[in-house]
């Protein structure tokens, strides 16, 4: 080290020894500095004393030596502008320039290189752009170069590697790119080198391996690749800090990083060459290394036990790689100074070594997102200085050890996503520094220990997804600033603690899927910071208007499946941030109040299964961001307003089922181009089915061969055909909230029963208009919606034939046209429905042979074709014969003639009715128009049926 510092001492001494000439240059230096000051954008207060009235050497930030400006230190002075107006030639004695932490922009002028006496240049933490001047390689006396945290671009000039006295070399946090490191020279004087956070590509730079005095090396957050050099310990034996994280290094970790060479000499790293074995590389043991960070690369293999040789280790990180195998227990007996051990997000296996308890100075222990098994070692209780412990997302079993209560310094305990069982030990109350407790998604049972109320610093508690039961301690929250609480998916009962939000800091509260009862705590109305509340699937009662009256940050509110009553609070429509509101399956009553708000931010609104009444709520017109709307199973009535096609253009899920809506289905619904689920079943709609030709989110524009997804026009959704895919529990722990706890859902009648689609809601595409009074034909345009998975038009009075192009709905899984007045044959194209798993065509007037097809042959229940005029073929027991079809043909021809005469008679009768209608009232004329139109339609259908039978007979 003394050899490295010597050039700096010589340089400083030499600069101090330079005598000032008789004609001192101070006036010239003053004019240069004042001209630069005038060019700055803001005349900062830091330079207010710079004037000709005061000596230059007394100006703020200026230090002189022998009457010359030697140092210019303006760190963090709030200056803005550039350096191009500063005449560096007028500052020949300058040895230090420190402008760190200002707002300088523009290019760094090459003219700085004229100051050959400069020993320290710090331009860090500014906004300099463009490239680093090549002339910087001429700084023969430069010892300290800091250009970090700017906007510098381009390649690092190889001339910088020729700086003969450079010690501190810091170019981190810029946009410097890769270059040909082969042109770089070794830098034997450098001890500190940082190229962190740039865009440097390529393999490990070879010139660094030829810079043997480097003690601090940071190459993290670049795009370096290839293997970490096995010779690194030999070439850089004095390393104390090594950071190669966030790159693309691959292959195994070199065991040489920690191996003790059998031929090693004294502890100072010097080697005796005559003791080296042939063929064995000269390996250093990096005994001085205190910081090693290799996280976020692509390293494979195991963790070398040889790492135990790095006995000075304090901070060890190797997270987010592809490492496997056990954790060597000898690490913890050989690293007595260890403070941080982070190996998360790998694939380590085996048990957690009990030897961890020997690392008594450990403060941070991250083992999460691996495949560790077995129990939590009781020895962890010996780590009395531990502040953060995260063992989440593993396969740990057994109970939480009581010894964990000894960790009185622990602030964060995360054990979620394991297989832990048993009770939560009451000793947890001794962890008085604890701020975050996350035990979600385990198999813990029993009561929540009352000692948890002793944790006065607790602000985050997550118990989601266990088997905990009993009553929540009534004092939970008293005197504590709880911020995030999740009690969801357990078996808790009783009332919520009345002091749960006494600290007025509560932001996120979930207690869904329990057995809670009673009214909500009155203190909820004081928690104005709440942004997320989920209390679904409990037995809460009472009115909610008090609890949620003034919450400007509330974005998510789910109170579904409870026993709340009363009218919906008017203020719900005025909450400025609310996007998700689910009040379904309660006892809310009355009409929905009108809102004067011009733009309600709601995106999801579920009000189904209540006792709400009135006409279609006009408040929805103000919800222009609405994506999902469910008003099903209430007592709404009247017509659907035509503004629904324009006022809520983003709607994708629309359910109005089981109400008393009437009138025509507005054709304006077809303007909802993003609509992918429409359920208007079980109402009193009349008239014909609109064409729905513009529902482009239901179009299938491209089937991707060999995959299970397809693209749809004008929609960001990517519909997945596999509906019930399960998200793996092996998820990253960045978001500790279980994914089932929140999210959109829809309830639809699917495959014979009502089902809830959640998280897979984007895969639900279809139309349900069943159980209404719809008439006339099924529009041919419905067959253009080739992305739909289900179509239910049953229990109406639809007539005509099944559209011949029904087979073009290639993804259709559910088709129900039963209980209508459909006639004719079943179109042969129906055999093209290769995904069809549920079909019902019963209770119509269909006849002829049932089409065959590979998928149709799996539908073996004959009831799906029952109560039709004359269907035959599989799966019915009625065989199809040519004579039988001929008889059907004759029957229909007779029916054809009788209906033909009826048409003639009807036409004559209609003429007289028409004549009468010219005299009488307009309503009577409308009736006549419809009567005649119906006759014409009936005759057209007869002609169509006759043609079909003739074709069938001819084919036989």
Task: Tell whether 565 and 691 lie within a shared domain.
Answer: no
> Is 828 part of any domain?
yes
The answer to whether residue 916 sits within a structural domain is no
pLDDT category at 576 given cuts 50, 70, 90 is very high
DSSP 619-682: GGGG-TT--EEE--SSEEEEPPPTTHHHHSTT--EEE--SSEEEEEPPGGGGG-TT--EEE--S
328 in a domain, yes or no?
no
By C-alpha distance, which of 77, 137, 131 is closest to 104?
77
What pLDDT, on the 0 to 100 scale, is given for residue 520?
93
Q: Say whether both 56 and 170 belong to one domain.
A: yes
Residues 693 and 568 in one domain: no
How would residue 742 be classed by pLDDT, with cut points 50, 70 and 90?
very low
**For 412-422, how does the pLDDT look when each residue is reduced to its tens digit (9 = 90+)?**
999 999 999 99
Using CA atoms in the order 836, 837, 843, 848, what is the torsion angle rounded to 10 degrees? 50
Domain co-membership, 82 together with 190: yes
Structural contact between residues 341 and 360, judged by C-beta atoms closer than 8 angstroms: no
Say yes or no: 590 and 692 in one domain.
no
Query: Computed over its alpha carbons, how large is the radius of gyration of the chain?
Result: 40
What mean pLDDT value characterizes the chain? 84
- Are 194 and 65 within one domain? yes
Confidence band (pLDDT; 50, 70, 90) for 566?
Answer: very high
Examine the pLDDT at 46 and tell me if it is beyond 90.
no
Q: For 136-148, how does the pLDDT look when each residue is reduced to its tens digit (9 = 90+)?
A: 999 999 999 999 9
CATH of the domain at 796: 3.80.10.10
Average pLDDT over every residue of 592-608 = 88
Structural domain boundaries, residue 154: 27-200
691 shares a domain with 600: no
Out of 194-198, 426-430, 951-955, least confident range: 951-955
Read off the pLDDT of residues 476-520 as tens digits, 9 standing for 90 and up.
Answer: 998 889 999 999 999 999 999 988 888 889 999 999 999 999 999
Buried b (16+ CB within 10 A) or exposed e, 451-460: bbbbbeebbb
Asked if residue 46 is part of any domain, the answer here is: yes
CB 624 within 8 A of CB 646: no
Asked if the peptide bond before residue 875 counts as cis, ω within 30 degrees of 0, the response is yes
One domain, residues 693 and 797: yes
Please give the model's pTM, rounded to 2 decimal places. 0.78
Inform me whether the pLDDT recorded for 98 exceeds 90: yes
Checking DSSP bridges between strand 436-438 and strand 460-462, what pairing results, if any?
A: parallel
Share of the chain above pLDDT 70, in %: 80
918, pLDDT greater than 50:
no
Residue 540 lies in a domain: yes
Residue ending a domain, choose from 200, 226, 260: 200
Q: Judge whether 515 and 493 are in contact, CB under 8 Å.
A: yes
Domains in the chain, number: 3
Measuring CA to CA, which residue among 507, 506, 515 is closest to residue 488?
515
| Residue 710 in this model has a pLDDT that exceeds 70 | no
**Confidence band of 749 (pLDDT split at 50, 70, 90):** low
Decide which of 6 and 873 is more confident: 873
The stretches of 777-881 forming alpha helices (DSSP H) are none
Angle, helices 922-955/882-919, rounded to nearest 10 degrees? 160
- How confident is the model at residue 934, as a pLDDT? 53
109 alpha carbon, distance to own chain's centre: 44
> CB–CB of 464/485 below 8 Å?
no
Task: Examine the fold and report which residue of 850, 880, 910 is the final residue of a domain before the chain moves on.
Answer: 880
In a domain, 775, yes or no: yes
Q: How many H helices and E strands in the chain?
A: 8, 62
Q: Is 170 found in the same domain as 57?
A: yes
Strand ranges inside 739-849, DSSP E: 745-750, 753-758, 766-768, 773-774, 790-792, 814-816, 823-824, 838-840, 845-849
Residue 784 lies inside a defined structural domain of this protein: yes
* pLDDT of res. 886: 52
> Residue 908 above 80 pLDDT?
no
**DSSP letter at 269?**
S
pLDDT, tens digit, for every residue of 431-441? 999 999 999 99
Compute CA distances 854 → 830, 832, 835, 857, whole Å.
11, 9, 10, 5
Question: Which residues, 6+ apart, have CB-to-CB distance to 835 below 8 Å?
Answer: 721, 789, 810, 811, 812, 813, 855
My answer on whether 573 and 693 are in the same domain is no
Confidence band, pLDDT 50/70/90 cuts, at residue 764: confident
Whether 694 and 565 map to the same domain: the answer is: no
H-helix or E-strand containing 914? helix 882-919
**880, 913, 940: which is the final residue of a domain?**
880
Same domain, 837 and 697: yes
Predicted local confidence at residue 346, as pLDDT = 97
pLDDT, tens digit, for every residue of 169-190? 999 999 999 778 889 999 999 9
pLDDT of residue 262: 39
pLDDT in tens, 249-284: 999 988 776 554 433 333 333 333 333 333 373 333
Asked, for residue 821, whether it belongs to a domain, the answer is: yes
Indicate the DSSP class of residue 197.
Answer: S
Count the helix, strand and coil residues of the chain and give each as a percent rounded to the nearest 5.
25, 25, 55
11-28 pLDDT per residue, tens: 444 444 344 443 344 789
């Amino acid at each position: 080290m003394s050899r490295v510092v010597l050039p700096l001492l010589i340089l400083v001494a030499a600069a101090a020894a330079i005598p000032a000439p008789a004609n001192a240059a101070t006036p010239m230096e003053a004019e240069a500095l004042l001209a630069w000051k005038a060019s700055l954008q803001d005349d900062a207060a830091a330079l207010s004393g710079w004037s000709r009235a005061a000596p230059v050497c007394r100006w703020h930030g200026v230090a002189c030596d022998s009457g010359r400006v030697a140092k210019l230190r303006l760190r963090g002075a709030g200056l803005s502008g550039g350096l191009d107006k500063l005449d560096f030639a007028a500052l020949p004695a300058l040895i230090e320039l420190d402008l760190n932490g200002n707002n300088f922009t523009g290019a760094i002028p090459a003219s700085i290189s004229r100051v050959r006496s400069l020993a320290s240049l710090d331009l860090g933490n500014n906004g300099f752009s463009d490239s680093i001047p090549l002339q910087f390689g001429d700084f023969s006396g430069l010892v300290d170069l800091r250009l970090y945290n700017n906007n510098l671009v381009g390649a690092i000039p190889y001339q910088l590697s020729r700086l003969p006295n450079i010690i501190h070399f810091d170019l981190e946090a810029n946009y410097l790119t890769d270059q040909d490191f082969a042109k770089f020279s070794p830098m034997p004087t450098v001890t500190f080198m940082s190229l962190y956070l740039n865009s440097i590509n390529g393999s490990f730079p070879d010139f660094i391996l030829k810079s043997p005095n480097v003690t601090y090396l940071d190459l993290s957050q670049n795009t370096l690749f290839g293997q970490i050099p096995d010779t690194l310990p030999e070439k850089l034996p004095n390393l104390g800090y090594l950071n190669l994280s966030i790159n693309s290094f691959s292959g195994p970790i070199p065991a040489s990083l920690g191996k003790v060479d059998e031929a090693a000499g004294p502890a100072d790293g010097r080697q005796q060459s005559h003791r080296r074995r042939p063929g064995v590389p000269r390996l250093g043991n990096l005994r001085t290394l205190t910081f090693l960070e290799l996280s976020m690369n692509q390293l494979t293999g195991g963790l070398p036990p040889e790492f135990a040789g790095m006995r000075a280790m304090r901070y060890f990180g190797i997270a987010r790689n592809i490492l496997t195998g056990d954790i060597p227990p000898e690490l913890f007996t050989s690293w007595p100074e260890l403070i941080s051990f982070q190996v998360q997000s790998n694939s380590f296996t085996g048990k957690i070594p009990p030897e961890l308890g020997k690392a008594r100075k450990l403060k941070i222990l991250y083992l999460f997102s691996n495949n560790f098994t077995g129990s939590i070692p009781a020895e962890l209780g010996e780590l009395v200085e531990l502040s953060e412990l995260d063992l989440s997302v593993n396969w740990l079993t057994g109970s939480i050890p009581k010894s964990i209560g000894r960790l009185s310094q622990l602030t964060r305990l995360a054990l979620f996503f394991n297989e832990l069982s048993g009770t939560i030990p009451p000793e947890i109350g001794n962890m008085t520094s604890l701020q975050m407790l996350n035990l979600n998604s385990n198999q813990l049972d029993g009561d929540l220990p009352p000692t948890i109320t002793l944790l006065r610093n607790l602000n985050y508690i997550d118990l989601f997804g266990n088997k905990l039961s009993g009553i929540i301690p009534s004092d939970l929250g008293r005197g504590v600033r709880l911020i995030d609480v999740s009690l969801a998916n357990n078996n808790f009962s009783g009332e919520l603690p009345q002091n749960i939000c006494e600290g007025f800091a509560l932001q996120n509260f979930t207690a869904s899927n329990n057995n809670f009862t009673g009214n909500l705590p009155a203190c909820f109305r004081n928690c104005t910071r709440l942004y997320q509340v989920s209390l679904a699937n409990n037995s809460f009662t009472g009115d909610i208007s008090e609890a949620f009256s003034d919450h400007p940050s509330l974005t998510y509110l789910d109170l579904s499946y409870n026993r709340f009553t009363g009218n919906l609070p008017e203020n719900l429509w005025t909450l400025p941030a609310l996007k998700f509101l689910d009040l379904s399956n309660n006892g809310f009553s009355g009409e929905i109040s009108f809102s004067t708000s011009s733009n309600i931010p709601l995106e999801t609104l579920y009000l189904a299964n209540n006792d709400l009444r009135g006409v279609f709520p006009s408040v929805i017109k103000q919800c222009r961001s609405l994506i999902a709307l469910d008003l099903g199973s209430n007592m709404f009535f009247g017509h659907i307003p035509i503004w629904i096609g324009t006022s809520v253009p983003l709607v994708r899920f629309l359910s109005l089922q089981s109400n008393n809506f009437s009138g025509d289905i507005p054709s304006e619904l077809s303007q909802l181009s993003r609509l992918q689920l429409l359920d208007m079943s079980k109402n009193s709609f009349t008239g014909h089915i609109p064409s729905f030709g513009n529902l482009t989110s239901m179009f299938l524009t491209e089937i991707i061969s060999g995959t299970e997804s397809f693209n749809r026009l004008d929609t960001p959704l990517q519909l997945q055909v596999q509906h019930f895919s399960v998200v793996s529990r092996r998820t990253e722990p960045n978001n500790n909230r279980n994914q089932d706890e929140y999210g959109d859902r829809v309830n639809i009648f699917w495959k014979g029963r009502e089902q809830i689609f959640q998280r897979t809601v984007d895969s639900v595409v279809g139309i349900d208009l069943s159980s209404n009074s719809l008439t006339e034909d099924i529009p041919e345009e419905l067959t253009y919606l080739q992305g739909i998975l289900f179509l239910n038009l049953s229990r109406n009075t639809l007539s005509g034939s099944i559209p011949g192009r029904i087979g073009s709905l290639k993804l259709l899984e559910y088709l129900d046209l039963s209980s209508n007045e459909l006639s004719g044959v079943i179109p042969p194209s129906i055999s093209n429905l290769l995904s069809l798993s549920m079909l019902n065509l019963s209770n119509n007037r269909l006849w002829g042979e049932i089409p065959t097809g590979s998928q149709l042959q799996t539908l073996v229940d004959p009831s799906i074709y029952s109560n039709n005029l004359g269907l035959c073929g599989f799966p019915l027991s009625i065989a199809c014969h040519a004579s039988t079809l001929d008889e059907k043909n004759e029957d229909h021809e007779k029916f054809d003639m009788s209906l033909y005469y009826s048409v003639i008679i009807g036409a004559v009768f209609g003429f007289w009715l028409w004549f009468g209608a010219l005299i009488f009232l307009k309503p009577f004329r409308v009736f006549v128009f419809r009567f005649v139109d119906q006759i014409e339609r009936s005759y057209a259908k007869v002609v169509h049926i006759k043609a079909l039978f003739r074709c069938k007979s001819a084919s036989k």
